Structure 1
């Protein structure tokens, strides 16, 4: 028993010593430390996790709204030509040899703007076309009538005879912001009803691709994929409203390489309204030769900022000169809106008509000066130009190839329906084939419209009757 007592006492002393040792170490030697570890993964996924708080834009509404209002356009044109032997003496003796008529087909896109069938597209989609067919998203097909064209903006207006069509409403391209999501809708490579998405990369971009004398370029640049066949299609915002008409791509291969360009709806709406009301665009001109302000010009003129539109010269008897604007002025504001580039100035002025007054602020000797400019038309006056085809009182068609061969002519349009008007008063008769206007050959009705529209004063019309009798007529259009 004594031995057992000693063992128990020893065990208790060991236990007590352990507790004392633990208490002493915890009290005097051990300090609790809190360490946080931040994980830095070496590899991250490119996609967002399913529960991410970041929201991508929902473009399904805009796509569904716009795809039914964008159409496929198919065009057909027939051209004849001549070839030379290369020897002028042989050509003189034997004459030029006619080539076989060549049929060309083209494809593009268009946007329905009203339920009764007005459709906007690019001028280059329908240029020189004799037949224009419109295919709707539901596969219905219609022959289209060309209402008018405007090469200066590369736009054209078509009309089909149908009602209750889906259409797009105009948005506001001036409110577009860099980085804003947009959709391009069209028919690339004949793949109908195609939708691509991207962001607005730049605005008021001037590419210098339109060679028309009065060209206007102020493109919306996006990275939405656009390819051949998209021309004339819609650029829409997230609400499904039309903000531009796709027109061009920047590419070395002919296919999409990263950037596409659309005509802003501010220009589109003005052109469409003019073509519907007047038959031609009422282009207002300010009468200046312009360029962007660069660092050299800013230093020369002692400007505080490198922005604005530099007036290199003013047109004699033009609107700007009459208002008091001079060469070396810098235009910075039009009707209360700042203009930083020549493209922005062109886009702004394009929204007006001849005879409209605009307030223009310029910098001259680093001081601001305001002028009221009365805009003019291409002829230098303030009159509204109307479609002269209407006052001519006739309908026209391209001459059949068999008729051309019989009459030994290479071009011409025929008067099909002659009513009261300028042509009848001048002595022309139904069936007369117009081959030249003011010494310029006429191949298509659009050629005739263009020459008549550009004419000022007397107009010389040459041609031939179906019996082979040649004739010419001279007439004027008065104040029209």
Structure 2
């Protein structure tokens, strides 16, 4: 810890050193005069040709227009919840997702239920106020407030949640809300441009740009083989507080919902993951319609075949799905399925 004496001592050193340097230079100049030479001007950096500059400016303009079109449909989700005494709710969340949940705090240790506050992100997907976010953002919520892009703060109701896919739908009352259309994540290819929207660390309405780094990443949580994989991996910067925000393609369509990151520090290190729209959209539609989702159970984890994992599993066929998990005593296990099996139909 720095005290005032140390600080003042450090501050006092600077003038002494400066005086010493001036004196030394003056003495050197007195004894050995040196004729100053003008430095040669550095060559001017070559500018971009008109075609290259125009291409970059056109790209910037397109991204600017895309961000301006999507941002009005982004919301900040502020949640008040009661912490369970055994903290089972947190135990059910993988470490990656827990770090991604965003700033939360419990400043007072009091008797009775403990109150926690957290933040996340969401995206409006219909003009009548339905909002998609993550289940782990609103799990156990007793109060949900959303901040719109025009700074209005509205109360939101939890319509339904699905822990298996980590998706949730909340709703605000009103009409004619700005919304973002659904895209098709099955058409994504590595290298394509994507934008991540959300509220990292509470910095509202942040947009970052990156690419699709990889597709069909498996579920990182080994505790439940029923949880679907197929995650989109991206290097678009996402951090705690981005959870529940959309991943948008160059058309301005939702191709994923950001849900977790992998990092040794808990902050972004180039590996963010989003639930793809082919999982998000039917889940959200079921939650909007019924308030819940019914899942079939096989006790089986799969991922799509890619040239990379086909080599790993020694498969010569690039079609179908590869079994990545088989739960003990599950229907899949009883049927004889094993990790590494290739399912083609």
Shorter-chain TM-score above 0.5: yes
Aligned-partner SS, 2:141: coil
Who is 2:80 aligned against?
76
Q: 1:119 aligns with which of 122, 131, 134?
A: 131
Aligned-partner SS, 2:288: helix
Matches within 5 A, 1:277-296: 277-286=289-298, 288=300
**Deviation digits for residues 95-135 of structure 1 (CA, Å, limit 9, x no counterpart):** xxx83543211001001010111101011111121111111
Residue 296 to residue 146, structure 1, CA distance change in 2 (3 Å): closer
Who is 1:204 aligned against?
216
Structure 1 residue 141: Cα displacement: 1.3
Residue 275 to residue 44, structure 1, CA distance change in 2 (3 Å): farther
Aligned-partner SS, 1:52: helix
Who is 2:55 aligned against?
55
Gaps of 5+ in 1: 1-42, 83-97, 334-359, 361-480
Within 2, Cα distance between the matches of 1:46 and 1:249? Answer: 40
Who is 1:399 aligned against?
none
Within 1, Cα distance between the matches of 2:263 and 2:324? Answer: 32
CA contact (8 A) 1:285 1:319 kept: no
Aligned-partner SS, 2:145: strand
Within 1, Cα distance between the matches of 2:228 and 2:55? Answer: 38
Within 2, Cα distance between the matches of 1:46 and 1:73? Answer: 47
CA contact (8 A) 2:74 2:123 kept: yes
Matches within 5 A, 1:63-462: 63-79=67-83, 81=85, 99=111, 101-209=113-221, 211-212=223-224, 214-286=226-298, 288=300, 298=314, 304-305=316-317, 308-310=321-323, 318=331, 326-327=336-337, 330-333=341-344, 360=345
Within 1, Cα distance between the matches of 2:312 and 2:237? Answer: 37
Within 2, Cα distance between the matches of 1:305 and 1:250? Answer: 30
Residue 140 to residue 290, structure 1, CA distance change in 2 (3 Å): closer
Structure 1 residue 214: Cα displacement: 2.4
Structure 1 residue 287: Cα displacement: 5.7
Structure 1 residue 286: Cα displacement: 4.9
Instruction: Give the TM-score normalised by the residue count of structure 2.
Output: 0.68
Structure 1 residue 332: Cα displacement: 4.1
CA contact (8 A) 1:120 1:158 kept: yes
Within 2, Cα distance between the matches of 1:250 and 1:314? Answer: 24
Gaps of 5+ in 2: 1-42, 87-109
Within 1, Cα distance between the matches of 2:113 and 2:324? Answer: 49
Aligned-partner SS, 1:273: helix
Within 1, Cα distance between the matches of 2:273 and 2:246? Answer: 11
Within 2, Cα distance between the matches of 1:55 and 1:111? Answer: 31
CA contact (8 A) 2:226 2:299 kept: no
User: Which fold has the larger relative contact order, with Cα–Cα distance below 8 Å and residues 6 or more apart in sequence?
Assistant: 2
Structure 1 residue 153: Cα displacement: 0.8
Within 2, Cα distance between the matches of 1:47 and 1:332? Answer: 54
Structure 1 residue 277: Cα displacement: 2.0
Residue 312 to residue 53, structure 1, CA distance change in 2 (3 Å): closer
Aligned-partner SS, 2:136: helix
Larger helix fraction of residues = 2
Instruction: Give the TM-score normalised by the residue count of structure 1.
Output: 0.50
Within 2, Cα distance between the matches of 1:232 and 1:313? Answer: 29
Residue 47 to residue 248, structure 1, CA distance change in 2 (3 Å): farther
Structure 1 residue 284: Cα displacement: 3.1
Give the aligned length.
271
Within 2, Cα distance between the matches of 1:313 and 1:108? Answer: 33
Aligned-partner SS, 1:243: strand
